[in-house]
A and B are shown apart, each in its own frame.
Chain A
Amino acid sequence: MGVPAWEVVFADLGEDEDAFDELAEDLTARQVAQVQKQFNRLAQHGPALNGDYFDNVAGSRRGLREFRLRADGVAIRFLYVLRERTFVMLKGYRHSRRRDVDRHAPTAEARLDEWEGQNEAH
């Protein structure tokens, strides 16, 4: 595998934790490793990965999208935005109901505000 064509970054949550760590707390080691493989595929292929992996988040004021993946039968969603060639992964969670996204989108949008503030500062 060559150099990834796309960048995948996770929102920092402070205290040596980011959005991937946060999701991993809810997953088994095997599930974490499977998720990591799918992130690697995302970094390799970007939006061309496959239409089934992506969806829009309806009503998002910041244009959030979701990365949809599965690990050992568990449905997982990661809310993100794409900035140039960087996937900014904001909030991951185990998906069980359609309305879950409504609960997590505000958190993701707040993290996006913070991420953009930090990156503009640099």
Chain B
Amino acid sequence: MKLTDSYARLKARRPELEAAEAEIALSEAIADLIVDARVRTGLTQAELARRAGTSQARISELERGEANPTVDTLARIAGALGGLLDLGAFLSLVGSANITNSGTFVAVPAQMSFFTSAVTEGAATAASSVAVTQEEGFVLNTPGEVTLAANSELALAA
């Protein structure tokens, strides 16, 4: 059976493949952001890994789009890249509507659930927006800018 026909049949049998495809598309978009920022800084993967406190293999994996970073890892990479990681573009991937006001609620599509589950215990939380919207997502606490840091500025909605 041809590839396209075979995969179409698989998708009909396993509807969860649709969400998996969306998640992979997101991985690849994140990968592009990291590669772009790293190249602009002139860092090697190994140097970025050292600065971010992770392994070169992990950076390579993320740059190939083979995995999604946790919030904590992405925050450390962003810090290591000296602000060149385009977090506005990143948040547009997760469905940010307005990232300039304190308390803005950022809805998180289903395929981003791995981010919410990855936020470390003890992260600041602000659930008021969630109570109104009945959605799952992040609440931005810092007006005027978005800094991706699991334990402070970007809070996980309970």
A interface residues, Cβ below 8 angstroms from B: 7-10, 12, 16, 18, 20-21, 24, 28-30, 32-34, 36-37, 39-40, 43, 70-73
Contact = CB atoms under 8 A, between A and B. Distances in A.
11 contacts: A10-B1, A12-B1, A21-B9, A29-B14, A32-B10, A33-B20, A36-B3, A37-B24, A39-B3, A71-B66, A73-B67
Nearest to B15: A29
Given A7-B2, A72-B66, A29 B19 contact: yes
B118 to A, nearest CB: 15
Given A37-B24, A72-B66, A72-B67, A32 B1 contact: no
A16 to B, nearest CB: 8
B19 to A, nearest CB: 7
Interface string B6-44: 110110001011011101100000000000000000000
Contact of B6 (A7, A21, A33, A70): A21
B3 A29 contact: no
A70 B67 CA distance: 11
A32 B17 contact: yes
Interface in B29-79: 61, 66-67
Contact of B10 (A24, A28, A37, A71): A24
Interface of B is mostly: helix
B7 A20 contact: yes
Given A8-B3, A29-B17, A20 B67 contact: no
B6 A20 contact: yes
A7 B9 CA distance: 17
Given A24-B14, A29-B19, A34 B3 contact: no
Contact of B1 (A18, A39, A43): A18
A21 B1 CA distance: 11
A32 B15 CA distance: 12
A37 B17 CA distance: 12
Contact of A32 (B2, B9, B20, B66): B20
Contacts of A28: 20
A39 B1 CA distance: 13
Given A70-B66, A73-B66, A33 B3 contact: no
Interface in B105-131: none
Nearest to A87: B3
Given A7-B2, A20-B10, A33-B23, 17 more contacts: A12-B1, A20-B3, A20-B6, A20-B7, A21-B10, A24-B10, A30-B20, A33-B20, A33-B24, A36-B7, A37-B24, A39-B3, A70-B66, A71-B66, A72-B66, A72-B67, A73-B61
